[in-house]
Amino acid sequence: MDQDIINKIKENGVVGAGGAGFPTHVKVNAEAEYIILNGAECEPLLRVDQQLMVQKTKEILIALDKIRKITNAKRAIIGLKSKYKKAIEAIEKDIYNFTNISVLELGNFYPAGDEQVLVYEATKRIVPEGGIPLNVGVIVLNVETLLNIHN
């Protein structure tokens, strides 16, 4: 693990931007088999993650790859709804520069952006009741959180 990056995340006060505000340095200071970028935006009227994935694609991919490496994850998966055409196009334009990162297109269903649902859709693993994704070898991060890590 790269303690320098983890310490910078802690020193800069990066917390999960998906709503819970969990300290990101704690979340990424672990080993996982998969890193999942949650770009599915559970609520149907939200557009922030879509816009960030279009406007800040390279920065998000760089941060995702760094986190994949420091957690020793074998794969990073970007989960987003297939209707997010511009975001998918932007990611696919730059993803070839990175190994072990793939896109998972989800259906337009509620709650596709729910962490538990996303873990299952991406890995077919079920997070135990009262558990967290790390219990099944997964770390889930929000798009804006990754951008904050990059910045």
Q: Please list the ranges in the chain whose pLDDT falls under 70.
A: 1, 42-46, 112
Residues in CB range of 142: below 8 A, 6 or more apart: 16, 17, 18, 37, 38, 49
pTM over 0.85: yes
The model's pLDDT over 39-54, given as tens digits with 9 standing for 90+, comes to: 987 666 667 889 999 9
